[in-house]
Structure 1
Amino acid sequence: MSEPVDTLDALDSRLLLLLADEPRLGVLECSRRLGVARGTVQARMDRLERRGVLRGFPPDVDLAAIGYGLTAFAVLEIAQGRRTEVASRLAAIDEVCEVHATTGEGDLLVRMVARSNADLQRVIDEVVDVQWVRRTSTSIALSTPIPPRVRPLLERVAGGDAGEDVRA
């Protein structure tokens, strides 16, 4: 069975790992470290950007260091058929960092940050006030033993093990 079009190869993964470690590296330095031509690196980066794999080079900001030390997750039940509208309104709340459409008990999973418990209450009140939000259940994160990551997946592909094909 052939690989899907969107599968990364080892060079793509090594390039992404290099950029994850040092996002300010230029194309020439990446090509030197990877041992490939500059044009190859540029073509790979362009292709990864077109496919939406490489979405930019934002800085990795520690939210606690800028005053948002409290993270919470809310499961929202919303009016049927209103996911787009609710998500749009949630995006207008600065402290809402992520929203995922989910299966199960709720419809949306929202990650939000706040400066304090009182500030979290304000943020939750804003979320609850969004039209078509029917019910929420919020949990405060006490710690983050595993932060968001992609490195293990990139390392697996870079090492030549893309995992088993589970589509069989």
Structure 2
Amino acid sequence: MSMHLDDTDRRLLSLLQANAREPAATLARKLKLARTTVVARLARLERDGVVAGYGVRLGQRLDSTAVRAYCSLSILPKTTASVLKELAQMPEIEEVSAVSGQFDYLVFLRCETHEQLNALLDRIGLIDGVNHTQTSIVLSRKIDRRSAVGL
């Protein structure tokens, strides 16, 4: 299904990404629209799958103290389902993406300490079906467009 988003949809999504708890009346004032129009647009965006849900973004204070890393995983054939099931049980894992190239998956990890990261990497390496890992610790974030709408 082809999805057309106009400038108002994009501005609405940007406002929601900045603060998903913003009341519809406040969004309407910022967009210079009627509250009922904003509510109808939100319902359409949700129904069409453009908005899949609302969540929590960690604040700078907590995020800046975290030890973050990307771990590339090479998985043995026919073990994908069981490996993904094991990874899903680890709360420090925020995202798992299938990727092309030398590795099968790219895993984003967030831990409180380097020791916790080390223990997590040991646990991941011991999962039956994980063939090879390569980890890069994030030193600093230079560009972050996660809150911007790139549609």
| TM-score when normalising by structure 2 | 0.86
Q: Where in structure 1 are there 5+ consecutive unaligned residues? A: 155-168
Secondary structure of residue in 2 paired with 1:36: coil
| 1:147-158 equivalences in 2 (<5 Å) | 147-151=144-148, 153=150
Code of the residue aligned with 1:118 in structure 2: it is: E
Structure 2: distance between partners of 1:67 and 1:145: 13
Moved more, 102-111 or 84-93: 84-93
Question: Aligned residue for 1:158?
Answer: none
Structure 2: distance between partners of 1:21 and 1:67: 18
Question: Aligned residue for 1:47?
Answer: 44
Question: Aligned residue for 1:7?
Answer: 4
Question: Aligned residue for 1:133?
Answer: 130
Moved over 6 A (4+): none
How far apart are residue 18 of structure 1 and its match?
1.9
Structure 2: distance between partners of 1:116 and 1:64: 15
Aligned 8 A contact 1:63 1:69 in 2: no
Question: Aligned residue for 1:114?
Answer: 111
How far apart are residue 94 of structure 1 and its match?
1.1
Question: Aligned residue for 2:53?
Answer: 56
Question: Aligned residue for 2:93?
Answer: 96
Residue 71 of structure 1 pairs with residue 76 of structure 2:
no
Structure 1: distance between partners of 2:47 and 2:127: 34
How far apart are residue 37 of structure 1 and its match?
2.4
Structure 1: distance between partners of 2:150 and 2:130: 35
Per-residue deviation, residues 110-153 of structure 1 (Å, max 9, x unmatched):
01122222211100011112221111111111111112525152
Aligned 8 A contact 1:28 1:38 in 2: yes
RMSD, aligned CA = 2.3
Aligned 8 A contact 2:13 2:149 in 1: no
